[in-house]
Amino acid sequence: MKIEKTLHSRIDEIDFNNISFGNHCSDHMFCSEFRNGEWKNSIIKPFENINISPKSLVFHYGQAVFEGMKAYKDKNEEVFLFRPEENFKRINRSAKRLEMPSIPESIFMNGLKKLIDIDRDWVPKHYGQSLYIRPFLIAMDRVLSAKPSKDYLFMIISTPVDAYYEYPLKIKIEEKYSRSASGGVGFAKAAGNYASSFYPTRLAREEGFDQILWTDSSTHTWIEELGTMNVFFWLKNKLITPRANENILSGITCKSLLALAKKEGIDIEERDLSVSEIIDGLKKGALKEAFGCGTAVVVNYFQTISYQGVNFSLPDIPDDQRTSILLKKKLLDIQHNFSEDPFGWRLKLKRFL
Ligand code: PLP
Ligand code: COI
């Protein structure tokens, strides 16, 4: 892999006490090209605009998949990745569904590790802060016919992010729009899934809600996920999350919280969860807590759930009694090397250069 280091770092432009999500990318980026059936030209180089033909297939037919992951610092400013092999596997599951080539593990992992090593000063120091990493794969053929591309570009860029300050969410259970459909691409981290959620999300925001709780597209009676998060419900003394299926993006945060909850002795269930069970739980006071989780937000709990125009409030319990907050702390402690890592999730980044 070729490495070209910048002579003009932009790091002094960043106020690490006041970071906004995604505004400033780190000094370098990783690129690798898939051409004539082969991966080639892997390079780490200074972050810059890329030159793409307006004919490129990605613009017209949306052959684009991506990942979201983070790097964290510990007290000694060592840098750690969290379960990167899960993101590697997921981008290739997404790529397969969109008829794109799979990325070899060596390209994904070496590109990732070396890029974050070179930009390790960009990983913020404080607990909860992190460097958000965005690997993505796009179709590059310069042709307007609707067919899968032959050429692709895989890139990794990153941006420092602040600790996400929790605010209780007002949720709407969606009954008209859908995020995904049976046989579709819901399980993939396909760029188009996000584009299609923007309009219904804006409508929900105009009604005063923060996020949409997506339900199955054919009956709108089964809970799927929340905006860009997976969901958990603390119902009848069990922590329940909808079982991952072809409509749901199987989240790495969700998987990790399930393992942590199990270790805490919490009774967990991954199963189909109906809207009526949630509404019944709200009416009878059996639903104590509900929250969303994902790499960007970590964990965010719900204040209200609205269904068919009726707003239900969740119990107003103190933060130190919330399962969501307990699990979030356990997760962040592992991510920041503040606690043991019994699951082997942390990957300490070597210094390559
Ligand atoms: N669901 C959707 C649609 C997402 O975009 C995300 C975020 O990546 C998640 C769930 C949570 O996944 P993860 O925990 O792997 O970030
Ligand atoms: C994440 O949580 O990593 C996501 O991908 C959300 C993102 C679309 C901002």
pTM exceeding the 0.95 threshold for the entire prediction: yes
Q: What confidence score (pLDDT) does residue 167 get?
A: 87
Res. 198: pLDDT tops 80: yes
Say if residue 123 is in the same domain as residue 188.
Answer: no
Domain count, the chain: 2
Give distance in angstroms: CA of 143 to centre of ligand 1.
32
Domain boundary among 110, 136, 162: 162
Greatest alpha-carbon pair distance for the chain in Å reads 63
Domain that holds residue 176: 169-334
Checking if the pLDDT of 43 tops 80, the result is yes
How far does Cα 187 stand from its chain's mean position?
12
Could you tell me if residue 273 is inside a domain? yes
Q: Is the CB of 253 under 6 A from ligand 1?
A: yes
CATH of the domain at 313: 3.20.10.10
Counting ligands in written order, the one closest to the CA of 180 is: 1
| 199 and 265 assigned to the same domain | yes
Asked if residue 353 has pLDDT above 80, the reply is: no
Does the C-beta of 230 come closer than 6 Å to ligand 1? yes
Mark whether 155 and 20 lie in a shared domain. yes
Pocket probe for ligand 1: among 198, 249, 295, 335, the residue whose CB has the most ligand atoms within 8 Å is 249
| Ligand approaching nearest to the C-alpha of 193 | 1
Q: What percentage of the chain reaches a pLDDT higher than 90?
A: 95
pLDDT digits (tens, 9 = 90+) for 49-108: 999 999 999 999 999 999 999 999 999 999 999 999 999 999 999 999 999 999 999 999
For residues 146 and 257, state if they share a domain. no
CB of 251 closer than 6 A to ligand 1?
yes
The Cα 49–Cα 52 span in angstroms is: 9
DSSP state of 212: E
Domain identity same for 149 and 186: no
- Assigned domain for 340 exists: no
What is residue 289's predicted lDDT score, i.e. its pLDDT? 97
Q: What atom in ligand 2 is closest to the CA of residue 295?
A: 2
Same domain, 330 and 231: yes
Ligand 1 centre distance from Cα of residue 68 (Å): 8
Mutate to test the pocket of ligand 2, among 23, 198, 253, 295 (most ligand atoms within 8 A of CB): 295
Residue 4: count other Cβ atoms within 10 Å of its Cβ: 10
257-284 pLDDT tens trace: 999 999 999 999 999 999 999 999 999 9
Regarding whether 180 and 50 lie in a shared domain, the answer is no
- Of 329, 327, 319, the residue nearest 259 (C-alpha): 327
Distance 156 CA to ligand 2 centre (A): 15
The answer to whether the CB of 346 falls within 8 A of the CB of 80 is yes
The answer to whether residues 132 and 226 belong to one domain is no
Mean pLDDT of the chain: 96
Same domain for 249 and 274, yes or no, is: yes
Residues 297 and 155 in one domain: no
**Domain co-membership, 233 together with 294:** yes
CA atoms of 110 and 81, how far apart (whole Å): 13
Residues 135 and 228 in one domain: no
Count the neighbouring beta carbons within 10 Å of the beta carbon of residue 183: 8
Res 298 pLDDT > 90: yes
Check residue 23 and give its pLDDT: 84
At CB < 8 A and 24+ separation, what contacts does 264-269 make? 264/326, 264/327, 264/330, 266/239, 266/323, 267/237, 267/238, 267/239, 268/238, 268/239, 268/240, 268/241, 269/238, 269/239, 269/240, 269/241
Residue 107 resides in a domain: yes
Average pLDDT (122-136) is 96
